[in-house]
Chains A and B, each alone.
Chain A
Amino acid sequence: MITRISGAVVEAIDVDKPKMNDIVRVGDAGLIGEIVRLHEDKVVIQVYEDTTDLRVGEKAVNTYAPLSVKLAPGLLGSIFDGVQRPLEKIMEESGDFIQKGVNVDPLDTGKRWKFNPKAKAGDEVGQGSIIGDVDETSLVKHKVLVPVGISGTIESIEEGEFTINDTIAVIKTEKGKSEIKMMQEWPVRKSRPVVEKFPPNIPLITGQRVLDTFFPVAKGGTAAIPGPFGSGKTVTQNALAKWSDADIIVYVGCGERGNEMTEMLSSLPKLKDPKSGKPLMNRTILIANTSNMPVAAREASIYTGAAIAEYYRDMGYNVALMADSTSRWAEALRELSGRLEEMPGEEGYPAYLSSKIAEFYERAGRVKTLSGKTGSLTLIGAVSPPGGDISEPVAQSTLRVTRVFWALDASLANARHFPSINWLNSYSLYEEDLKDWYETNVNKGWSPLKMELMGVLAREAEVNEVVQLVGYDALAESDKLTLDIAKVIREDFLQQNAFDDIDAFTSITKQYNILNSIKRLMEAERKAVENQIPVSRFQGIKAKEMIAKMKLVTDDRLDDYVKEFDGALGEINAKKEAE
């Protein structure tokens, strides 16, 4: 029976056999809640739905199970709320607005899937072994795994069309027979077991030039994107979800805008995977707990996403999870902690904030799965620091554990330099790990090339300080050259239009070609400067215009374009002869 209601936190007595983290149905409306504290006979419940109108004296019924996700074919292409209720089904049940206490199955239990066994009767299988697969979407084969905790000999296994609740195999274990279904459950707050973690040495190619070239994240790595509002966190996260070369994308819209989730929902089915030409929605799972949806479910949404992502990782896929924004998740923690009257830490956040953040990012990794395959889970979290000041607790705790920092910059955004990632403040600690990959797969000269151009950008910042003091005209020609080339790098390489069909995604080969062309332009200009040609003469030359347009050149035309560019470069030194 409920004895107290304070926002999302409800106290009750007489709950049957309460255990920490058990899910409880609260009130006559049957709201979903989770036990977060036990105190003598009193149970404290965090409720995942709006508690308005909930009345003292109403009942609270234990379900005896922790908050879990249902894992089976049918997850891909779906959109769920923070506790894995499918929004489409909720709409069928309760209309355009989300009403309270809606009880729907996360997955379609009536649909029949064609199950293809990959093991046969008599085979020895362990937990996490792959016993068969299902064509879940045109892009993804769903591997059916033996649930964690079960191992033994397959007694029978059947091919055919089954629903996710039908028995497809029977495994004889030490403790007796276990019926295996396509659907299994997993408690969201617990990470799924793996055999071991490998060093991350393959990059997640995102098609975003500034990221892939200068601040790459590895498959299985962690990255943070902090930035003030309007600096393009969401646009960057969306671009990653759309274009990165992961097999599976889990996108968690955590306490963000409803219209943004709608944008994802309407654009993903139209966008095609650059490799296979199939709709990107076929590899994507969306979790939407928008800012006006209940705060406790927002806290859970990150874990729901992580558990689903780990499940696909265990099939041997490269999975990337984007969480936008982890600050809203931290705020949900703060709000709930406040209601629980816990002792607050810095800025009112609970003392366990940083350990929770670390725990979440630790779920990333490139791993050997229980079935012996290699899979990875990359975690990319947006952070929304108040006023854009990253000295606050959430940003600081995040930066301590993530290895890539993409620093979004309001002044770049204001000048409409997108993606507004500050090249001087950002960093990637994976550079060394990934060096070999780039040198083997792209070009031997990759590392020195990008270091050289980054050097130009760093030098630009210094020269600009001098300009502030003495003016542009007083600069040495070599410094003017630095400014000239830096401008080309900024405008023609770093800037990328997420809304242009071609520019939205740049292959790694093309990135190399643009970079290399800029470098060759720089060398040609440097030589010309040595020959006493002033930098002012390089304005509007053809070679530069060609670099500016290179981002819009499709990959198949790239070789010809680069050849033409070679010709244009000659023009720079020809100028000398013309004199």
Chain B
Amino acid sequence: MNDVYYKDIKKITNILLFLENVKNPAYNELVEVELEDGRVVSGQVLDAGEKFTVIQSFGETTGMNIGTTKVRLTGETAKFTVSEDILGRVFNGLGEPMDGGPAVFNGERRDINGAPINPYAREEPSEFIQTGISSIDAMNTLVRGQKLPIFSASGMKHNQLAVQIVRQAKILGENEKFAIVFGGIGITSEAANFFKSEFENSGALVRTVAFLNLSSSPSMERIILPRIALTAAEYLAHDKGMQVLVILTDMTNYCEGLKEISAAREEVPGRRGYPGYMYTDLASIFERAGKIKEKEGSVTMIPLLTMPGDDITHPIPDLTGYITEGQIVMSRDLEKKGVSPNIDVLTSLSRLMNQGIGDGKTREDHRNVANQLFAAYARGKDLKSLAEVVGEGALSESDKKFVKFFDVFEKKFVNQGYDQDRTITETLDLGWELLSMLDKSEMKRLKGAEIEKYGKWK
């Protein structure tokens, strides 16, 4: 431990401290800022220099001053103690217990920034996770080791969807060692309580590690929180062989925090005021999902974010979509129609779907049924908007069937509610049933043998 205190503070902003004459600071080194009243706030070195050093405070700078406030460099980067004892515990955004329990000892202290997985060491994710939600399982399949975000917007029930996935995901099979790592980033205490009681009800709480940064807690903790959560997840997965599902909500709050720091540092902003390095920064979080060759465990990540103004081209969903392996998009239109979960299958996508489906994984007809459902639903959507202009009477008989299919698909296939758990067989059979509303000659994506075996045409 380093017991030298520096008092040469030149400038303090709401989150940054500018120090002079710090001896040999390290980049990203953890610091402790001690106030006159004895309060200690932690922070980290953002810019290490011989002449001046910039420190980002994780807590509020309220009460700090130039003169009596002093800074101690800890000599190490931010770390988190990992051990199996963290299961069932609740921590704050800095990794300190907030459930009244003792601090975690007897563990290994790990750098929260982790290290990039060597692409050569990665295993291609290919194991199907059954979420029991038709619009995900059939159309946008989730696989182990994938990072698949949920793009939601304010006022939608994305928390319910996340909980449904946690509850139903067959990653929770009895024989498998599983764990949930939950990162609540700037969420309300109401939302935190909701997650807690849902995990409790499903019996998953003892297998859960929660990190909570409530909306009232310092926003700077939000930058640290996902990194600590993923350090825990990586440990449980790659060291302990567990199948880990990481839920991070709400990544929009994280990005706002990033913007705040960038603005405070007077950096040149990229798009819409967000820092130019936001892509790289988000990637350093999302890319920690994955599987490693010849190892049991996996980190599957479901980050949630709310799209500001329902705009999918906003930098936050946009950059996220470029990094993650697809996205599940919740739609305002479907919500208004009363469809729940209001997943828009057309704008949703799972890039790893092909690896996780088919014979021996789900069913041999899965790919083609999904393609046919997509095509039919998309066509129905086009025709429906056309019918709104020219009237349904102007459509051909075959086209009218597509319009009807469009409605029934939303009502029956997508609209399963937050409680129903469908097996993949049930989901695919339902798909076949709905397709039988259409003419067989329109089934361009299906193979003859599949129609023979699974088709429900009379």
Residues on A lying within 8 angstroms of B by beta carbon are 3-7, 11, 50-57, 79, 87-88, 90-91, 94-100, 228-230, 253, 255, 257-259, 261-263, 265-266, 288, 290-293, 295, 328, 331-332, 334-335, 338, 344, 347-348, 384, 386-389, 413-416, 467-474, 491, 499, 536, 539-540, 548
Question: A5-B47, A415-B374, A471-B390 are contacts. A52–B28 as well, Cβ < 8 Å?
Answer: yes
Report if B362 contacts A (CB, 8 A).
no
| B113 close to A (CB within 8 Å) | yes
Question: How far, in angstroms, from A472 to B396 measured CA to CA in the complex?
Answer: 8
The answer to whether B391 and A471 have CB atoms under 8 Å apart is yes
Q: Which of A56, A262, A331 contacts B122 (CB 8 A)?
A: A262
Contact of A56 among B48, B283, B295, B318 (CB under 8 A): B48
- Please state if A98 and B378 are interface contacts (CB–CB under 8 Å): no
Contacts of A5 in B (CB 8 A): 26-27, 47-49
Interface residues of B in 339-381 (CB under 8 A from A): 346-347, 349, 351-352, 354-355, 367, 371, 374-375, 378-379
Total A-B residue contacts, Cβ distance less than 8 Å = 230
Q: Which 8 A-B pairs have the closest CB atoms?
A: A387-B313, A471-B394, A291-B283, A471-B390, A292-B287, A229-B321, A87-B120, A97-B115
Residue B38 CB within 8 A of the other chain: no
- Knowing A292-B116, A292-B288, A335-B276 touch, does A229 contact B322 (C-beta < 8 A)? yes
What residues of B have a CB within 8 angstroms of the CB of A257 in the complex?
287, 323, 325
Within the assembled complex, what's the spacing in Å between the Cα atoms of A265 and B276? 31
Q: Known contacts A474-B394, A536-B396: does B121 contact A91 (CB below 8 Å)? A: yes
Q: Are A97's CB and B118's CB within 8 A?
A: yes
CA distance in complex: A162, B32 (Å): 58
Q: How far is the CA of A388 from the CA of B354 in the complex (A)?
A: 24
A414-B346, A416-B378 given; A56·B50 CB < 8 A: yes
In the complex, whether B279 has a CB less than 8 A from a CB of chain A is yes
- A439 to chain B minimum Cβ distance, whole angstroms, is 33
A55 and B26 contact, CB distance less than 8 A: yes
Residues of B within 8 A of A7 (CB): 27, 277
Nearest Cβ on chain B to A46's Cβ, whole angstroms: 14
On chain B, the residues within 8 Å of A347 by CB distance are 270-271
- Give min CB distance, A235 to chain B, whole Å: 9
Taking the closest CB of chain A, its distance from the CB of B209, in whole angstroms, is 21
Interfacial chain A residues near B22, Cβ < 8 Å: 56
Residues of B within 8 A of A467 (CB): 386, 390
Chain A residues whose CB sits within 8 angstroms of the CB of B326 once the complex forms: 230
In the complex, B280 has a CB within 8 A of chain A: yes
Tell me the complex Cα distance, A309–B255, Å: 38
Interface contact B313-A259, CB-CB below 8 Å = no
Write out the residue numbers on chain B whose beta carbons fall within 8 Å of the beta carbon of A416: 371, 374-375, 378
Whether A51 contacts B27 in the complex (CB less than 8 A), given A290-B116, A416-B371, comes out as yes
Q: Tell me which of B124, B267, B399 contacts A262 (CB under 8 A).
A: B124
Q: How far is the CA of A539 from the CA of B327 in the complex (A)?
A: 37
Identify B280's interface contact among A51, A52, A87, A335, CB under 8 A.
A335
Q: Are A53 and B276 in contact (CB under 8 A)?
A: no
Residues in A neighbouring B386, C-beta threshold 8 A = 467-468, 471
A97 CA to B288 CA, complexed, in Å = 10
Q: Give Cα distance in the complex from A413 to B46, angstroms.
A: 41
Measured between alpha carbons, how far is A91 from B116 in the docked complex, in Å? Answer: 12
Residue from B22, B367, B379, B390 with most neighbouring chain A CB atoms (10 Å): B390
Q: Which of B25, B268, B395, B396 contacts A344 (CB 8 A)?
A: B268
Contact in complex: A96, B117 (CB < 8 Å)? yes
- Judged by a CB distance under 8 angstroms, whether B389 is at the interface is yes
Determine whether B455 belongs to the interface, using a CB cutoff of 8 Å to chain A: no
* Residue numbers in A under 8 Å from B120 (CB-CB): 79, 87-88, 90-91, 265
Provided the pairs A258-B122, A470-B390 are in contact, do residues A4 and B48 lie with their beta carbons within 8 angstroms? yes
Please name all residues of chain A whose beta carbon is closer than 8 Å to the beta carbon of B444 when the two chains form the complex.
491, 548
Which residue of chain B has the shortest Cβ distance to A470 in the bound complex?
Answer: B390
Q: Which residues of B contact A291 (CB under 8 A)?
A: 279-280, 283-284, 287, 323
Chain B residue nearest to A1 (CB atoms) is B50
Q: Decide: A258 near B394, CB < 8 A? Known: A229-B318, A292-B284, A338-B267.
A: no
Q: Could you list 19 further interchain pairs (A-B, Cβ under 8 angstroms) beyond the known A95-B121, A263-B355?
A: A5-B49, A6-B48, A51-B27, A53-B28, A55-B26, A56-B25, A91-B121, A262-B124, A291-B323, A292-B287, A292-B288, A331-B279, A338-B277, A347-B270, A348-B268, A386-B313, A416-B371, A471-B395, A499-B367
Q: Does B315 sit at the interface, judged by CB under 8 A?
A: yes
Is B125 part of the contact surface with A, judged by Cβ < 8 Å?
yes
Which residues of chain A are near B314, meaning CB under 8 Å?
Answer: 387
8 contacts between A and B (CB under 8 A): A54-B26, A79-B120, A87-B120, A98-B117, A257-B323, A348-B276, A467-B390, A468-B389
In contact, A96 and B276 (Cβ under 8 angstroms): no
Q: Does B238 contact A (CB under 8 A)?
A: yes
A102 to B269, CA, bound (A): 33
Is A255 touching B277 in the complex (CB atoms < 8 A)?
no
Contact of B290 with A by CB under 8 A: yes
B431 at the interface (CB under 8 A from A): no
B77 on the A face (CB < 8 A): yes
- Looking across the interface, which residue of chain A has its beta carbon closest to that of B271? A386
Please measure, in the bound complex, the distance between the C-alpha atom of A471 and the C-alpha atom of B145, giving whole angstroms.
Answer: 48
Q: Are A259 and B371 in contact (CB under 8 A)?
A: no
**Complex: how many Å from CA A98 to CA B120?**
10
B122's nearest neighbour on chain A, judged by CB, is A262
- Taking a contact as CB atoms under 8 Å apart, the answer to whether A472 and B24 are in contact is no
Query: Which residues of B (382-419) have their CB < 8 Å from a CB of A?
Result: 386, 389-391, 394-396, 398-399
Q: Which residues of A contact B396 (CB under 8 A)?
A: 472-473, 536
Interface residues of B in 270-322 (CB under 8 A from A): 270-271, 276-277, 279-280, 283-284, 286-288, 290, 292-293, 295, 312-315, 318-319, 321-322
Instruction: Establish whether residues A262 and B123, one from each chain, have CB atoms under 8 Å apart when the complex forms.
Output: yes
CA distance A30 to B340 in the complex (A): 55
In the bound complex, what is the Cα–Cα distance between A53 and B120 (angstroms)?
25
Chain B residues lying within 8 Å of A472, measured Cβ to Cβ, are 390, 394-396, 399
